């Protein structure tokens, strides 16, 4: 989550960032959407490669090593999770991660602890830096 949110803030100079958390059967899904710079379609195949960045080092406007999304992807693989990306250059990006809920929480009655956990929730964070 930290990496996805950090990237959304870093690449969204103006606009909005939305975070949605949803429980779907025995999986937890988290989606981070932004109205930032977006990712070119031609680069998406390299998005999860270690040390890979869309801009060449000579033209780079943003700091980073190119390891964040590679680590997120690897961690999700180890957790039997998934990551999906939708993005359009100049429009923004959407990253959706999903992973299994731990066995001890699968049959737990969420509504008795917090009724909001059984629903989908979204937060909208306007940004302007």
Q: What is the pLDDT of residues 18-77, one digit of tens each?
A: 999 999 889 999 999 999 999 999 888 999 988 877 755 444 465 666 788 999 999 999
Name which residue leads in pLDDT, 110 or 74: 74
The Cα 42–Cα 98 span in angstroms is 25
User: pLDDT category, 5, cuts 50, 70, 90?
Assistant: very high
The Cα 129–Cα 127 span in angstroms is 7
> For all residues of the chain together, what is the average pLDDT?
82
* CATH number belonging to domain 2-112: 3.30.565.10
Residue 44 phi/psi, 5-degree rounding, is -60, -30
The pLDDT assigned to 18 comes to 96
The answer to whether 123 and 31 have CB atoms below 8 angstroms apart is: no
Residue 55's contacts (CB-CB under 8 Å, 6 or more residues apart) are 61, 62
Structural domain spans, the chain: 2-112
């Amino acid at each position: 989550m930290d990496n996805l949110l950090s990237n959304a803030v870093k690449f969204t100079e103006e606009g909005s960032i939305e975070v949605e958390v949803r429980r779907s059967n025995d999986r937890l899904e988290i989606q981070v959407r932004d109205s930032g710079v977006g990712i070119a379609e031609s680069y998406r195949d390299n998005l999860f490669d270690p040390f890979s960045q869309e801009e060449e080092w000579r033209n780079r406007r943003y700091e980073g090593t190119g390891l964040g999304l590679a680590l997120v992807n690897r961690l999700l693989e180890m957790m039997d999770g998934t990551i999906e990306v939708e993005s359009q250059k100049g429009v923004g990006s959407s990253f959706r991660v999903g992973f299994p809920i731990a066995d001890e929480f699968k049959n737990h009655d969420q509504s008795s602890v917090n009724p909001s956990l059984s629903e989908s929730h979204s937060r909208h964070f306007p940004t302007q830096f």
